[in-house]
Copies of this chain bind each other. A is one copy, B any other.
């Protein structure tokens, strides 16, 4: 991969991406909106960074990002979780979760069991092999996390989480609003 990001420090000492600023500068047009565009671009960059990290960490272990997300949720419970609940928790379509559980099942890390309470529903359940996988993944994952957040104060980490979720909540609100006014789908 050819990836040579060079960031610089603002007069405030805050990091920014000169190339992104140059690209967005003309587009944002008003100086007032430029920081938001820069922040959105930075979010995209950061996401790819952790994805690359995660891909490296689970390299050769054959579990991808989405599947890992499901597996960790499964590892937190004794009884299984239904496909629909997993989808709602992760914020993706249930069809997507079906596929992720497929791959986990193919790898022997999870299994499907019928829901005794609802015969339409299927519970995904972690297997002993899945628990072993999670256990083996835990330590390197912790180390990777610490490396990723090196230089972050505890408050920085909490602030980062808060800002991310506020973004997500805004989008959520907006999508609900658009759905009600029926701007996109009547």
Interface residues of A (CB under 8 A from B): 1-5, 7, 10, 12, 14-17, 19-20, 22-30, 33, 35-50, 52-53, 56, 59, 69, 72-73, 75-76, 84, 87-89, 91-94, 134, 138, 141-142, 145-152, 154, 156-172, 174-175, 178, 184
Contact = CB atoms under 8 A, between A and B. Distances in A.
Contact of A165 (B36, B45, B59, B165): B45
A20 to B, nearest CB: 8
Contacts of A48: 91-92, 168
A171 B152 CA distance: 13
Contacts of A94: 2
Given A39-B164, A149-B167, 10 more contacts: A4-B88, A7-B165, A36-B148, A36-B149, A43-B47, A46-B164, A46-B168, A148-B174, A149-B170, A152-B163
A185 to B, nearest CB: 10
A161 B14 contact: yes
Contacts of A149: 36, 39, 167, 170
Count of chain copies: 2
A46 B45 contact: no
A9 to B, nearest CB: 9
B87 A2 contact: yes
B138 A42 contact: no
Centre residue among A15, A26, A146 by max chain B CB count within 10 A: A15
Nearest to A43: B164
Centre residue among A24, A29, A42 by max chain B CB count within 10 A: A42
Contacts of A43: 43, 46-47, 50, 160, 164
B36 A146 contact: yes
